[in-house]
Amino acid sequence: MTILAAYQGTYNYLYVHNPKIQMTMAYSFQQDERIESGFKRIAADQIDRAISSLQEQEKLREGIHDLRKRMKKLRGLLRLARSGIGDDVYQQENDCFRNIARDFSSVRDLTVLHEKLQVINQEITNDACKSEIEGAIQQLAEQEEQEIASLQEDGSRITNSISALQESRERLMNLSLATDFQDVISNGLKRNYKRGGNAFLVAYETGDDEDIHEWRKRTKYLWYHLRLLKSAWLAVLEPLAEEAHRLSTYLGNDHDYTVLADAMGNRQMSDKTKDLLAGQINEKREELHQNAYPLGQKIYAEKPKQFSRRMEAYWEAWQNNQLVENSSLLAAS
Residue 15: the pLDDT is: 43
Band (268; pLDDT cuts 50, 70, 90) = confident
Residue 332: the pLDDT is: 60
CB 224 within 8 A of CB 72: yes
In the chain, alpha helices (H): 3-17, 19-26, 35-55, 60-80, 82-85, 87-103, 105-121, 127-154, 156-173, 181, 187-206, 209-229, 234-265, 271-299, 304-319
Tell me the pLDDT tens digit for each residue of 193-234. Answer: 999 999 999 999 999 999 999 999 999 999 999 999 999 999
Share the mean pLDDT of the chain: 90
Phi-psi region of 126 (alpha: psi -120 to 50; beta: other; left: phi over 0): beta
Quote the Cα angle for 133-135-141, to 5°: 105
Per-residue CA distances from 128 to 117, 121, 271, 279 (Å): 16, 12, 12, 16
Band (74; pLDDT cuts 50, 70, 90) = very high
Tell me the pLDDT tens digit for each residue of 86-134. Answer: 999 999 999 999 999 999 999 999 999 999 999 999 998 899 999 999 9
pLDDT at position 85 over 80: yes
Residue 58: the pLDDT is: 79
State how far the Cα of 39 lies from the Cα of 90, in Å rounded to an integer.
Answer: 13
CB 34 within 8 A of CB 180: no
Give the list of residues 6+ apart from residue 161 with CB closer than 8 angstroms, or none.
54, 67, 100, 103, 104
Residue 11: the pLDDT is: 41
Tell me the pLDDT tens digit for each residue of 151-200. Answer: 998 899 999 999 999 999 999 999 999 889 999 999 999 999 999 999 99
Q: Residue 225: is it exposed, middle or buried by C-beta count within 10 angstroms (0-12/13-18/19+)?
A: buried
Give the list of residues 6+ apart from residue 89 with CB closer than 8 angstroms, or none.
171, 175
Residue 23: the pLDDT is: 52
pLDDT at position 67 over 50: yes
Residue 59: the pLDDT is: 87
Residue 267: the pLDDT is: 86
Residue 1: the pLDDT is: 40
Residue 323: the pLDDT is: 52
State how far the Cα of 194 lies from the Cα of 215, in Å rounded to an integer.
Answer: 11
State how far the Cα of 53 lies from the Cα of 74, in Å rounded to an integer.
Answer: 15
Band (19; pLDDT cuts 50, 70, 90) = very low
Residue 327: the pLDDT is: 56
> What's the rounded mean pLDDT across residues 24-43?
92
- Which percentage of the chain shows pLDDT scores above 70? 89
Residue 20: the pLDDT is: 47
Tell me the pLDDT tens digit for each residue of 272-324. Answer: 999 999 999 999 999 999 999 999 999 999 999 999 999 999 999 999 875 55
Cβ burial 98-122 (10 Å sphere, 16+ → b, else e): eebbebbebbbbbbbbbebbeebbe
